[in-house]
Amino acid sequence: MSRPSARCLKVLMTALLAVLLAFDAAFAASIVSPTDCSIAYSDSLLVSVKLSDSATVRVTVYKEQTGSEKEVTADDGSVEKETVYSDVDASNLTVNDLAAIAAGKKTDDSGKLILLSTGSGIPDYHDEVFASSVEYSNQSAGIGFYTKKLSDVKPGLYKVVVETLDNRKEVTETVVSYTAVKEKQEEKKSIFESISQSSALKFLQNLLRGLFK
Amino acid sequence: MGVNRKTETIKNVVIVVLFLSAILLLYLLWQPRLSLKVSGLLELRPSQKEAPRAEELIKPLYAALSRGDGSFTIDTKDSAAMLALAEEEMRAYFEQGSPQLQEISAEQFAQAMGEWESVQLELSGGLPLSDFCLHFCGRSPGGDTEDIRLDILAFSSASSESFFVCDRSRGCFRVLFAEERESVASLSALAKEPDCSGYSASEILGGEGRALIFLGLASGLSEVPFDNEIEQKGAGVRDRMAETLFGSTFDFVRRITDSYGNVTYMYGYGQKTFYASVAGSYEYNTEAGEGAVTDLFTDLDSAVLFLADLGGLDNVSGSGLALSGYEESGSGRAKQRTFVFSQTLGGVRIEGESGPAASVTLTGGQVTAATRNMVYPARDPSGGRPVNTAEAANVVASNANHIYNILNNDTLTIASDEAFDGAVRAAVTLVPGYFASPKDSSLIPCWTLTTENGTRFFFDLYSALPLGFSRRED
């Protein structure tokens, strides 16, 4: 290959790589924990946000609630409608449900209502602040982490929101992760198969081992 | 005549007693390895200095407890007591009979630790499992455990009839017995003063890391100045050590001093050499003689006593000694065992770039090589007011390029994601420690990151800035 065309090829390749890298480094922040659409059985929640270069983020954790209208009788006898919020019962949510909630659409492309495993559609959620916003700046030129362990976490549906802020504290990107926290399971699958051997075989094994030790 | 009879009988008895005791003493004198203490007495050594028991030197780096929800509680202060109880639990298990050994995958081990109630003790000393069990439980698990080193000792409610052993270079194993025991509950009860939380590297950092990353550690450690051996004990310490090794008359011993002031003593044509540097580090080598078959803990005892004789093992400012490495080769009478020791201060290990605090090599039960490079801290930093440390996660993240470059001997900058993934995968333990800085003559509180191939990195405990690194000598 002649020199000028080789150089031309190299420039093109570098340009292509740069374009690809630019697409790759779209988001400066990513949520490592909790994994999006995951289910946790714990009373604590690990929040871990990875920043790929120097950036400032605002991390907030919300507990999702659903509202229901209730009729409240005021002192003067008039009846008012009030919205009362209560925590979402996450005990029956599956990973698919979480994916549907995270997608943010109530109906699919054909207009049909998306149903959760409970049989109902996706309700409107109210964001109740569980851990107030914290700002974190990654000072180093490389990767930085914001980590926090939240304790006293009751079962429910939680949303971690990470907003990347620019110099004027305006939000440039938002990354969200949904996680369902459930009660600790009582029954757990056994990890190890039981090794059962007849006692005679075991005796022979031990005998042989002793002889050849 | 009766009186004469009596005195004659007494004389006979005395003669017989003296004769028997003479034979007994000769027997003890000529026995090659009856017991070190007895032969020590007979060799008329100067009084045995204070030396810690060999078993006390096996200290865990930390204990990690889990309630089964993926998060761990880290406890360093109670880990020594937990190891003592773990040894008793193992003894009780072995009383049930011979165990079965089952190899398990790393994922199964991680599940048993993270998803069930569990207790892990990070030992990192690399002692062979068979020798460990033989000493503490009276029995070895069996022939195929010869090569398994005890890096992690763990118990989990996932399998209450067994205990778990991990050797980072070989894999994880389950030592299975007949009956269940409540080991996890009894061990967890000992964790009274936990330090902080911990998560596996894959959870906190993403990727494939297996190290346990501490979260939210507050520490009271502060910078402590130190003296080396000569500054602490005076210039005469070198001659005293040489006398211990070569005898007080220095027969056939040559003394060579170089222009810097480092002195080498040599016996004969080099069968025994002792090198003493001006910086307070010492190295001893001698030819192996007729050896005998010994077991690991007898050798460890000999190693500790040797160090106590050669310069002493004083607890200055609350510093101590811990076994931090072990290598062995050969077999039978030519079996060579090398013990590597680190000093401890304020509950953490002191490491540096100038080699370990001490190392002793025994061949056939006799000391054939030793090094000594101890520091003497000016004060005890325990009880300092706890201050937040640099997050361990960020210690790895912000220094990922540096770690990757050193590990791969590559100074070209590469994509930070690749460096980060490489650093996370290579990290084995990341614990607080002290870095001995010779140029400042002080101990700096640090995060000590140990990687798979034994390379250690040191980062300032509070600012995460790199302080240095040391490679494992091959």
DSSP, residue by residue, A33-102:
ESPTTEEE-SS-EEEEEEESSS-EEEEEEEEEEEEEEEEEE-TTS-EEEEEEEEE---TT--HHHHHHHH
**B367 shares a domain with B339:** yes
**Chain B positions in Cβ-Cβ contact with residue A46 (cut-off 8 Å):** 70-71, 199, 203-204, 215
Question: What pLDDT shows up at residue A17?
Answer: 59
**B415 shares a domain with B317:** no
What total of structural domains would you count in chain B? Answer: 3
**B347 shares a domain with B238:** yes
**B232 shares a domain with B342:** yes
Tell if the CB–CB gap between A40 and B143 is shorter than 8 Å.
no
Query: By the 8 A CB rule, do A62 and A118 touch?
Result: no
Sheet holding B171-176, edge to edge: B100-104, B171-176, B162-167, B149-156, B117-128, B62-67, B72-75, B196-200, B212-215
pLDDT greater than 90 at residue B390: yes
* Spans of chain A below 50 pLDDT: 22-25
Please report, for chain B, how many H helices and E strands are present, in that order: 13, 26
Q: Look up the ipTM and state it.
A: 0.78
**B299 shares a domain with B179:** no
Query: By the 8 A CB rule, do B286 and B367 touch?
Result: yes
Check residue B221 and report its DSSP letter.
Answer: -
Tell if the CB–CB gap between B204 and A190 is shorter than 8 Å.
no
**Chain A positions in Cβ-Cβ contact with residue B216 (cut-off 8 Å):** 149
Tell if the CB–CB gap between B71 and A143 is shorter than 8 Å.
no
Average pLDDT (B228-236) is: 89
Q: Is A87 near chain B, with CB under 8 Å?
A: no
Tell if the CB–CB gap between B398 and A144 is shorter than 8 Å.
yes
**Chain B positions in Cβ-Cβ contact with residue A31 (cut-off 8 Å):** none
Residue A64's φ and ψ, nearest 5 degrees, are -80, 140
B162 located within any domain: yes
**Would you place residue B350 in the very low, low, confident or very high pLDDT band (cuts 50, 70, 90)?**
very high
**Can you tell me the distance from the alpha carbon of B377 to that of B443, in angstroms, rounded to the nearest whole number?**
8
**Domain that includes residue B111, residue range:** 57-194
Q: What is the 3-state secondary structure (H, E, C) of B265-290?
A: EEECCCCEEEEECCCCCEEEEECCCC
Residue A142 is nearest to which of B98, B159, B400, comparing CB atoms? B400
Question: What pLDDT shows up at residue B35?
Answer: 47
**B108 shares a domain with B186:** yes
**B278 shares a domain with B239:** yes
How many Cα atoms occupy the beta-carbon half-sphere of B412 within 13 Å?
3
Domains of chain A: 28-186 (2.60.40.2550)
B70 located within any domain: yes
B25 located within any domain: no
Closest CA to A49 of A184, A177, A206, A199: A177
Q: Name residue B107's amino acid.
A: E
pLDDT tens digits, one per residue of B292-326: 999 999 999 999 999 999 988 888 888 889 999 99
**What average pLDDT does the structure give for chain B?**
89
Other Cβ atoms closer than 10 A to B452: 13
**Contacts with A193 (C-beta within 8 Å, 6 or more apart), sequence order:** none
**B230 shares a domain with B373:** yes
pLDDT greater than 50 at residue B39: no
**Can you tell me the distance from the alpha carbon of A100 to that of A107, in angstroms, rounded to the nearest whole number?**
10
Domain boundary (B358, B377, B396) is at: B377
CB–CB contacts below 8 A, A to B: 93
Tell if the CB–CB gap between A184 and B142 is shorter than 8 Å.
no
**B281 shares a domain with B181:** no
Q: Name residue B333's amino acid.
A: R
**Can you tell me the distance from the alpha carbon of B321 to that of B430, in angstroms, rounded to the nearest whole number?**
20
Give Cα separations from B158 to B38, B186, B439 (angstroms): 48, 16, 50
Closest CA to B270 of B260, B284, B290, B249: B284
**Chain A positions in Cβ-Cβ contact with residue B114 (cut-off 8 Å):** none
pLDDT: which is higher, B375 or A109: B375
**B248 shares a domain with B182:** no
pLDDT greater than 60 at residue B474: no
**Can you tell me the distance from the alpha carbon of A33 to that of B100, in angstroms, rounded to the nearest whole number?**
38
**B362 shares a domain with B399:** no
B281 located within any domain: yes
Tell if the CB–CB gap between B393 and A143 is shorter than 8 Å.
no
Question: What pLDDT shows up at residue A124?
Answer: 85
Average pLDDT (B93-104) is: 90
Domain boundary (B377, B395, B426) is at: B377
Q: What is the pTM of this model?
A: 0.82
pLDDT tens digits, one per residue of B4-28: 899 999 999 999 999 999 999 998 8
Most B CBs within 10 A among A191, A196, A202, hence the mutation to make, goes to A191
Please report, for chain A, how many H helices and E strands are present, in that order: 3, 9
B61 located within any domain: yes
Tell if the CB–CB gap between B108 and A191 is shorter than 8 Å.
yes
**Can you tell me the distance from the alpha carbon of B72 to that of B89, in angstroms, rounded to the nearest whole number?**
22
**B246 shares a domain with B152:** no
Tell if the CB–CB gap between A142 and B115 is shorter than 8 Å.
no
The nearest CA of chain A is from the CA of B177 a distance in Å of 10
Domain boundary (B173, B194, B215) is at: B194
Question: What pLDDT shows up at residue B37?
Answer: 47
pLDDT greater than 90 at residue B360: yes
Question: What pLDDT shows up at residue A91?
Answer: 85
**Chain B positions in Cβ-Cβ contact with residue A41 (cut-off 8 Å):** 69
Average pLDDT (B45-59) is: 72
